[in-house]
Amino acid sequence: MSVLIPLLFLLVAVTGTGVALSRVPRRQVMAMAANGMALALLFMALQAPDVAFAEIAVGTAALPLLFLVVLASVRADKAAKAEDGAAAGDPP
């Protein structure tokens, strides 16, 4: 147990740094999900299973999905705008 918790803290720090350092939004979302997973494991090791449940479901499933959907929506919007611009003969 004494080794596990420092290791998990390290994992949280590493995955958190990964979130901050990823520059591509889609990858950043995945990095965030990984960070959520690491946090959930840490909560589990610290004997807070209630919080761990919530963190797993919200941090690794719900939140990344909403971000991915927003990214997809933005991309679809951009594509539609570019198409409109091309159809009207305007430079995009």
The residues binding another protein (CB under 8 A) are 49-50, 53-54, 57-58, 61-62, 65-66, 69-70, 72-73, 76, 79-80
The pair of structure tokens assigned to 23 is 């520059």
Contact indicator for 22, 28 with CB cutoff of 8 Å = yes
Contact indicator for 33, 58 with CB cutoff of 8 Å = no
CB of residue 31 to another protein, shortest distance in Å: 19
CB of residue 61 to another protein, shortest distance in Å: 4
**Residue position matching structure tokens 């003969």:** 89
CB of residue 84 to another protein, shortest distance in Å: 9
Tell me whether residue 28 or residue 60 sits nearer to another protein (CB atom).
60
SS3 content of the chain, % helix, strand, coil (to 5): 85, 0, 15
Tell me whether residue 14 or residue 70 sits nearer to another protein (CB atom).
70
